[in-house]
Amino acid sequence: MSILIWIIQLIFVPAFSPLCVGIIRKIKAKLQNRQGANVFQPYRDIWKLLHKDEVVSKDASWIFRFTPYIVFTVTLVVGFCIPLFLPHVLGFVTSDILFIVYTLAIGTFFMALAGMDTGSAFGGFGSSREMTISALAEGGFIFSLLTMALIVGSSNLFDITSFTRSVNSQYFLPTILAFCGFFIILLAETARFPFDNPATHLELTMIHEAMILEYSGKRLALMEWAASNKLLIFIALGANLFFPFGFPTNVGFMALALGIFYFLMKMFLFCVAIAVLESSIAKFRFFRLPDLLLISFIFNVVAIGLIQSIK
Amino acid sequence: MLEIITSPTSFFILLSLFFVGGIGSLFFLKNDKQANGWSSFFAIVGSLWGLFFSIAAILTKSSLLFDVKTSFFSLFKMSFHIDLLSSFFIFVISLIALFCSIYGIGYIRHYYKKYNIGVLGFFYNLFIGSLILVVTSSNGILFLIFWEIMSISSYFLVVYDNHDDDNVKAGLLYLVMTYIGTSFIILAFLLLYKYIGSFDFLIIKDNIALVPTSIKNIVFVSAFIGFGLKAGIIPLHIWLPAAHPAAPSHVSALMSGVMIKSGIYMMVRLFLDILQPVPFWWGLVVLVVGSISALLGVLYALTEHDIKRLLAYHSIENIGIILLGLGSALTFYSLNLPALALLGLMAALFHTLNHAIFKALLFLSAGSVINETHTRNMEEYGGLIKYMPQTALFFLIGSVAISALPPFNGFFSEWLTYQALFQGIAQMSFTTQWVFILATGSLAFTGGLALACFVKAFGATFLARPRSKEVTYVKESVLSMRLGMGGLALLTLLFGIFSGYTISLLKTISQGLNIFKDSASAVNVSSSQSINVSNGFSSISGMFVFILLIVTTFLVIFVFKKIINKKQKECTTNTWDCGTNLTPRAEITATGFSRSIILIFKGLLKPTIQHSIEYYDDQNRYLPKSRTVTLNIGNMYHTYLYQPLHMVINKLSVRAKAIQNGNIDLYISYIFVALMLALLVIL
């Protein structure tokens, strides 16, 4: 049974992440009075791209060729290590909060290098902007996870989800503050409004898209897929760490199915929230983004201060 | 067998190897090749011997204490004390010296016929030998002598490339700052001597209760300034980004990787060993200074486009991270939490080791690049990955390690440092807790900014198209240089994978200190090599992380290359150029890359931008001929700290000049008055 759970845990994120993107696009289309593509369209896009020939720049080195695999691997590994639909899986030693943060940073690191590798002006400034944002997002990211770890007394993500099920009401305020901080980081790290526009290809505004502009075919598919994996990872972290309910109590077949169902519901709610937010606000000016990221950091610092005064 | 290796005789053989290597190479002043061979051979053999010596000492947990009989002065005893902490530092020194010396064989060749190789070999061997002596001597005066030999030999290595005036200037700054530091260290030792009556470290330690707390505080401040200056803490760092780039690259690697750690060694020795028990606020001061050094160090690194200065600033950042571990150890211990203090010390020592390895690796690979391109300016590189693929790989590994990405070693020591700080947040009372929160915040932002900085460093140096003609003539470095770098690159990975084993050894080493003799540790390493902190607050396993990442990578590559898509074609064309001609000028530069971060932190960095435009026709300004934008980072420390200090000293000197008018009668009367006063005081 545990092998089966491991396999489900490994393929769950890549299996559902395109759906996540599809749902967000569909809701955004509806809000813009458009019909919108089918929610399964991202799957078809990935499948199509995977079978296309590709064009590689002659200036590119092995970094450019190898990066899509690394970026995709990183999202798989992180997806494997975080709580998705089960509160407790055989105590992974790699479910540590810092491991998650720094492993995701591997992906960012190589993606930024790949952006610079082809020597196009777009890739370079995309990398520069991406690294600026992710450098400033790191503080808020670590601190929002740390807040939950301090409440629980363990920095293992599975411990956090299984503990807060019996959540004490006095930790309500710090949890909400930490969640607000985390949500800002979610938007920043997954290249969403107000940080980045996932649908743009205008050189003035794009960040993530600029870095992967030179990719095509299979490698582009991997990059796109990895980006949607990352989105689902952040949604899963937000849903399970801060709202830890709906987990199965035993490891039976029905319980598992129910757990997956609950998780998909939570995922849907997050998608709705992101889509509504994207449709209702404008993208910020680049130099206003640090303020937002600093707010996330301050939220978490306040939350940690609150926890200590409760204890 | 192990007893023979860890005997005093073996220690003197170790020293004599460097001595013979150094003196011997002076005899080959005429023949560059022989001088290089001789000095490198003895440096390599000596480092190997040092490795065996220290590993044997650590494994047998032996502590060595011996005197060399000299009866010239009663205060000056040639006493050496090699406990586990010293052995650990001998290990770090020998490890880095070994690979730097291997690298040196090939690297020194480009100095043939230009400079004197024998002199380089002499000072190089002297430098390594003095480093080992610094961490083993157990007498204040003896220590200061070796400390000075270390400083002076490194000074001569900094100014070795003396055809460049900048190097000579950097050397002078280094020398002046070093002497300021040494004077503070002397002050600390003299104060201790006044109350205890001995310079011997062990006697001071036994009688530390004789020293009143107020004096101890002064000793702390002056020792922290003195040793902190060598370690490069901000704002005493100004010599470091000047001196490290000036030296030959394998020496820069040793200076950045090892020499600045001698300051850390003495801080551990004094604050956690000799001066214990210590007041509570010392730890907080170390924590605050560590946070500032870490954050500002990486910010200054981002502004640099001189590759070696960039790396030098990262040394300041990493010293800050080491101090975070040390500071939390001090704080915990003075609050009577020895288990957590042990965690902090282990984090500091582990990061000392790791930083030595990856910083040496980065300096060596930067040295290979500079050796081929003859410039340190990153804006003139670009595309080097195609010309020096192996050096690029080594630099990449170093960058990944220093950015604390798993599964390389940097991640595990930063992880341990984070754990020490997390425990501080969780367990401290209100005010102390905020210091820990700020330290954690500084470490988190430092991590993110270091990542950005190394994307910049690697991207601007190795990726895209060459930005100058010199790059196209570049060839891969010679075998010995690649061996030196490759060895270190392998070590970054090995110390990551076997971090569990390393940490259990570090625990033994830290428990060798008197204060931790019987204390339990907050870190435990399980039989499956996973590291657990404070009863399951956190755990990680280097081996498991490595296996997980490697297996998944192969799985992904296999699935996507062999199963899903086998018949795919790949064609190679130009990068999309928007219809224009794509030249290297379209690429992002190192300065451009970090400009947005600089602007965000403009309150701290104080950048200045100057625009100047030259027109074809000055009368009607329509057609600009050339535009120049000069982006400059103001040196706050010069303007706000060192220049005012300089002015004050200058003014005082001018005043003092008034009583020195050159009249010899007046001087004799001064002597007479001084004598009378002295007699009056005594009688």
* Domain extent listing, chain A: 2-310
Determine the average pLDDT of the residues in B99-120.
Answer: 90
- Shared domain for B413 and B484, answered yes or no, is yes
CB contact under 8 A, B465 and A53: no
- Tell me if chain A has a CB within 8 Å of the CB of B500: no
B526 part of a folded domain = yes
- Tell me if chain A has a CB within 8 Å of the CB of B565: yes
Determine the average pLDDT of the residues in B97-120.
Answer: 91
CB contact under 8 A, B452 and A135: yes
- Shared domain for B646 and B553, answered yes or no, is no
Tokens of B89: 């530092």
For residue B70, pLDDT over 70 is answered with: no
User: Pairing relation of β-strands B570-573 and A54-57?
Assistant: parallel
How many angstroms separate the first and last alpha carbons of chain B?
A: 63
Distance between CA A209 and CA A195 in Å, rounded? 12
3-class secondary-structure state, position B664:
helix
Determine the average pLDDT of the residues in A229-247.
Answer: 89
B335 part of a folded domain = yes
- Tell me if chain A has a CB within 8 Å of the CB of B467: no
For residue A168, pLDDT over 70 is answered with: no
Distance between CA A179 and CA A98 in Å, rounded? 18
User: So what's the pLDDT on residue B438?
Assistant: 92
Would you place residue A165 in the very low, low, confident or very high pLDDT band (cuts 50, 70, 90)? low
User: So what's the pLDDT on residue B635?
Assistant: 80
pLDDT in tens, B231-241: 999 889 999 99
pLDDT in tens, A93-125: 778 899 999 999 999 999 999 999 988 888 898
3-class secondary-structure state, position A156:
strand
CB contact under 8 A, A127 and B425: no
By C-alpha distance, the chain A residue nearest B589 is A124
- Shared domain for B641 and B552, answered yes or no, is no
Tokens of A21: 């993107």
CB contact under 8 A, A57 and B575: yes
Our CA-based measurement puts residue A29 at a distance from the nearest CA of chain B, in whole angstroms, of 30
CB contact under 8 A, A143 and B565: no
How many angstroms separate the first and last alpha carbons of chain A?
A: 39
User: So what's the pLDDT on residue B69?
Assistant: 66
Task: Give the ipTM.
Answer: 0.95
3-class secondary-structure state, position B573:
strand
Backbone phi and psi for residue B633, each to the nearest 5 degrees, phi listed first: -105, 120
- Shared domain for B548 and B628, answered yes or no, is no
Number of domains in chain B: 2
B675 part of a folded domain = yes
- Tell me if chain B has a CB within 8 Å of the CB of A73: yes
User: So what's the pLDDT on residue B248?
Assistant: 92
pLDDT in tens, B139-168: 889 999 999 999 999 999 999 988 888 889
CB contact under 8 A, B586 and A108: no
- Chain A segment 93-112 residues within 8 A of B by beta carbon are 93-94, 96-99, 102-103, 105-106, 108-109, 112
User: So what's the pLDDT on residue A195?
Assistant: 85
DSSP-derived secondary structure letter, B306: B
- Out of A52, A121, A141, closest to residue B588 by CB: A121
B132 part of a folded domain = no
pLDDT in tens, B436-451: 999 999 999 999 999 9
B251 part of a folded domain = no
- Chain B segment 364-383 residues within 8 A of A by beta carbon are 382-383
**pTM listed for this prediction:** 0.94
Question: Which of B577, B628, B656 shows the shortest CA–CA distance to A123?
Answer: B577
Which one of A122, A138, A185 makes the best mutation probe of the B interface by having the most chain B beta carbons within 10 Å? Answer: A138
Which one of A13, A128, A296 makes the best mutation probe of the B interface by having the most chain B beta carbons within 10 Å? Answer: A128
By C-alpha distance, the chain B residue nearest A290 is B600
B326 part of a folded domain = yes
- Calculate the average pLDDT of chain B: 89
CB contact under 8 A, A119 and B383: yes
DSSP-derived secondary structure letter, A34: -
Of residues A85 and A187, more confidence is placed in A187
Would you place residue B404 in the very low, low, confident or very high pLDDT band (cuts 50, 70, 90)? very high
Q: Is residue B57 within 8 Å of B180, Cβ to Cβ? A: no
For residue A306, pLDDT over 80 is answered with: yes
User: So what's the pLDDT on residue B8?
Assistant: 84
- Tell me if chain B has a CB within 8 Å of the CB of A216: no
- Residue B518 burial (C-beta neighbours within 10 Å; 0-12, 13-18, 19+): exposed
Q: Which domain holds residue B618?
A: 610-683
Distance between CA B253 and CA B359 in Å, rounded? 7
By C-alpha distance, the chain B residue nearest A131 is B452
For residue B71, pLDDT over 60 is answered with: no
pLDDT in tens, A241-264: 888 877 777 767 788 888 888 899
By C-alpha distance, the chain A residue nearest B539 is A93
B298 part of a folded domain = yes
User: Which amino acid belongs to residue B645?
Assistant: L
- Out of A51, A125, A153, closest to residue B537 by CB: A153
- The answer, yes or no, to whether the previous bond of A174 is cis (omega within 30 of 0) is no
Determine the average pLDDT of the residues in B65-72.
Answer: 70
Distance between CA A85 and CA A243 in Å, rounded? 12
Distance between CA B208 and CA B269 in Å, rounded? 14
Of residues B672 and A253, more confidence is placed in B672
pLDDT in tens, B314-332: 999 999 999 999 999 999 9
- Indicate the range of A59-63, B100-104, B577-581 predicted with least confidence: B577-581
For residue B542, pLDDT over 80 is answered with: yes
B2 part of a folded domain = no
Residue B4 CA: distances (Å) to CA of A307, B60, B94: 56, 12, 19
CB contact under 8 A, B448 and A301: no
Which one of B541, B548, B577, B599 makes the best mutation probe of the A interface by having the most chain A beta carbons within 10 Å? Answer: B548
Would you place residue B620 in the very low, low, confident or very high pLDDT band (cuts 50, 70, 90)? confident
Our CA-based measurement puts residue B427 at a distance from the nearest CA of chain A, in whole angstroms, of 9
CB contact under 8 A, A59 and B460: no
For residue A166, pLDDT over 60 is answered with: no
CB contact under 8 A, A119 and B448: no
Of residues B176 and B663, more confidence is placed in B176
Q: State CA A207 to chain mean position distance.
A: 16
CB pairs under 8 A between A and B: 252
For residue B408, pLDDT over 60 is answered with: yes
How wide is the angle at C-alpha B5 spanned by C-alphas B1 and B8, nearest 5°?
130
pLDDT in tens, B261-317: 999 999 999 999 888 888 889 999 999 999 999 999 999 999 988 999 999 999 999
Tokens of B504: 């259990």
Tokens of B380: 């003139």
- Out of A70, A98, A139, closest to residue B445 by CB: A139
- Out of B549, B568, B574, closest to residue A53 by CB: B568
Our CA-based measurement puts residue A301 at a distance from the nearest CA of chain B, in whole angstroms, of 8
- Chain B segment 573-592 residues within 8 A of A by beta carbon are 573-577, 582, 584, 586-588, 592
User: So what's the pLDDT on residue B74?
Assistant: 65
CB contact under 8 A, B573 and A117: no
3-class secondary-structure state, position B611:
strand
Of residues B667 and B635, more confidence is placed in B667
Q: In chain B, pLDDT over 70 holds for what percent of residues?
A: 99
Determine the average pLDDT of the residues in B366-391.
Answer: 91
CB contact under 8 A, B530 and A51: no
pLDDT in tens, B186-243: 999 999 999 998 888 988 999 888 889 999 999 999 999 999 999 999 889 999 999 9
- Tell me if chain B has a CB within 8 Å of the CB of A211: no
Given B501, B532, B563, which residue is the final one in a domain?
Answer: B563
CB contact under 8 A, B460 and A76: no
Token pair 């000492």: residue = B57
User: Which amino acid belongs to residue B409?
Assistant: N
Given B529, B563, B597, which residue is the final one in a domain?
Answer: B563
Q: Is residue B256 within 8 Å of B311, Cβ to Cβ? A: yes
CB contact under 8 A, A105 and B451: yes
- Tell me if chain B has a CB within 8 Å of the CB of A189: no
- Chain B segment 534-563 residues within 8 A of A by beta carbon are 536-541, 544-545, 548-549, 552-553, 556-557, 560
Our CA-based measurement puts residue B580 at a distance from the nearest CA of chain A, in whole angstroms, of 12
- Shared domain for B615 and B541, answered yes or no, is no
3-class secondary-structure state, position A35:
coil
Of residues B514 and A179, more confidence is placed in A179
Our CA-based measurement puts residue B287 at a distance from the nearest CA of chain A, in whole angstroms, of 18
